[in-house]
Amino acid sequence: MSANAHTTIIEILPAVADFLQRKHHLLIDGRWVPAQSGESFATLNPANGETLCSVAAGGIADVDAAVTAAQRALPGWAALTPAQRERLLHRFADLMELHKEELAQLETLDNGKPFRIAFNVEVNVAIGQMRYYAGWPTKLTGEIYAVSSPGFHVYTQREPVGVCAAITPWNYSLVMAVQKIGPALAAGNTLVLKPAEQTPLTALRLGELALEAGIPPGVLNVVTGFGHTAGAALSQHPGVAKVAFTGSTEVGKAIQRAAADNLKRVSLELGGKSPLILFDDVENLDAAAEAALWAIFSNSGQNCVAGSRLFVQAGIYDAVLARLATRAQQLIVGPGLDAATELGPLISAEQLARVQRYIEAGKRSGATLVTGGERLGGRLASGYFLAPTIFAQVADNAAIACEEIFGPVLSVFRFEDEEEVITRANALPFGLAAGVWTQHLGRAHRMAARLKAGVVWINTYDWFDPAVPFGGMGESGVGRELGRQVMEAYTELKAVWVKVE
């Protein structure tokens, strides 16, 4: 890691300092209330392990109160005209824009990610999404059907599903919250949001902004708390009609099981072990290697679409591996508030330990540790920092080759031809994302058609747009978020038959 002598530490805004001074409650029915148990928990800054502030630990009774509030708010919210709902959601987006820097600082403090990325990527993406969804209420329509039985007029209409629950992860807390709040509210549903216990702060700030925007009480409720308590209570609650979850595959399966009792609609964005495939005809090898570098190391590898399996064709394998090792060693790892930082810490001591266990398993599996592998000390010793890590000569069935690590750990594989790499890339139960670098047009389309993934990027990686559906195949999830598809997922379709003759 480069020594970085000229550090500029970003100054905390007074509004953020003030926010951290306060004890945070739950947002239920438009009011901030403590957990009924009186319990709270601390959220930490992963860059130094220090407590940022105290947040209410919502439990079963609080979830119940939030669902009741959302049920009460539902008819009024659904009855607003589409234009009225649009205006409120745009006002919400306006306030996010006004408080952009503050939201980015809160995310950097709570999650650890570089401020630059929080500000330029995460907050911008979240605002872009909120605006995209804000435009949907006036565009939601049904269809008219040409049926073969004479004398009927048949049409469909879209209706809200009801009370929705959103359970979100810590890696992109703000975007994940908006990705669920936006379509749920645009479609006329009400929502209970449970953010990850590691990063509750931006969700709480969003709750404040929603109230300020004039979104009626009970339409958006925020219950902070733990997965096995608040999260489990939400996924079991009979008053919840739909649950949208992003997180681990294991918890996704538990949520789907819990949701079965009242047949909740379930959408799951789960883990991945996404293959990135570099063919030896790439136009610019350095550009491809740079893309592969950021495909795995952005957000310190804590990214559902992380390109954690890199397949490199034999002819360019040595050159790509050497380039990657050099670049990985140059990456500046540090606190997110340091303006020079490129990679922040991992989210928690638990996540660090989990990733370190994978690294040890990788070494034992006989893979070659090319670079990294160690926790960083010195000025970073009190945070959860890990050196960007690359393994080569990895067996296809090693744990580091098959399981989602969610840390800055890349496995590099050598391959000979197209047929072989398709088989190896598709060999896991996951199917979230894939990347292909090639100048061969036919090969690019053949690969796109055959890769098992909800999204395939050709000569690029990790691009999103609110208009483009996103989600996984196989154990990477159920359903799609973003785009028209997510609006369909937050509505019920009703067919109406009218006998006209």
**Which of ligand NAI, Mg ion, none interacts with 404 (beta carbon under 5 to 8 A by kind)?**
ligand NAI
Q: Does the protein bind Mg ion through residue 43 (CB under 5 A)?
A: yes
Write b or e for each residue in 427-455: b if 16 or more Cβ atoms lie within 10 A of its Cβ, otherwise e: bbebbbbbbbbbeeeeebeebeeebbbbb
- Shortest distance, position 244 Cβ to ligand NAI, whole Å: 11
- Shortest distance, position 252 Cβ to ligand NAI, whole Å: 7
**Which of Mg ion, ligand NAI, none interacts with 436 (beta carbon under 5 to 8 A by kind)?**
none
- Shortest distance, position 166 Cβ to Mg ion, whole Å: 19
Degrees, nearest 5: CA angle 36-39-43: 130
Residue type, 22: R
402 catalytic per annotation: no
- Shortest distance, position 199 Cβ to Mg ion, whole Å: 5
Query: Which span sits near Mg ion by CB under 5 A: 110-118, 291-299, 372-380, 451-459?
Result: 110-118
Tokens encoding 460: 């690029």
| Whole-number Å distance between alpha carbons of 297 and 312 | 17
| Whole-number Å distance between alpha carbons of 434 and 421 | 12
User: At residue 69, what are phi and psi to the nearest 5 degrees?
Assistant: -60, -40
Nearer to Mg ion, 43 or 129 (CB): 43
- Shortest distance, position 87 Cβ to ligand NAI, whole Å: 31
Torsion of CA 130, 296, 299, 175, to 10 degrees: 10
97 catalytic per annotation: no
Choosing from 304, 342, 404, 481, the catalytic residue is 304
- Shortest distance, position 55 Cβ to ligand NAI, whole Å: 13
Can you tell me which of 110, 462, 475, 481 binds Mg ion, judged by CB under 5 A?
110
**Which of ligand NAI, Mg ion, none interacts with 37 (beta carbon under 5 to 8 A by kind)?**
none
Tokens 């702060």, located at residue? 201
Three-state secondary structure string covering 434-448: EEEECCCHHHHHHHH
| Whole-number Å distance between alpha carbons of 208 and 213 | 9
**Which of Mg ion, ligand NAI, none interacts with 100 (beta carbon under 5 to 8 A by kind)?**
none
| Whole-number Å distance between alpha carbons of 95 and 313 | 48
* Interface residues toward ligand NAI, by CB under 6 A: 167-171, 194, 196-197, 226-228, 231-232, 235, 246-248, 251, 254-255, 270-271, 304, 351, 354, 404, 406
**Which of Mg ion, ligand NAI, none interacts with 255 (beta carbon under 5 to 8 A by kind)?**
ligand NAI
Which residues have a Cβ under 8 Å from the Cβ of 186 and sit 6 or more positions away?
85, 86, 89, 133, 134, 136, 137, 140, 487, 490
Q: Does the protein bind Mg ion through residue 102 (CB under 5 A)?
A: no
Q: Return the residues of window 246-285 that contact Mg ion according to CB under 5 A.
A: none
Tokens encoding 411: 């496995």
Query: Which span sits near Mg ion by CB under 5 A: 191-199, 237-245, 353-361, 395-403?
Result: 191-199
Nearer to ligand NAI, 200 or 383 (CB): 200
**Which of Mg ion, ligand NAI, none interacts with 271 (beta carbon under 5 to 8 A by kind)?**
ligand NAI
The catalytic site residues sit at 269, 304
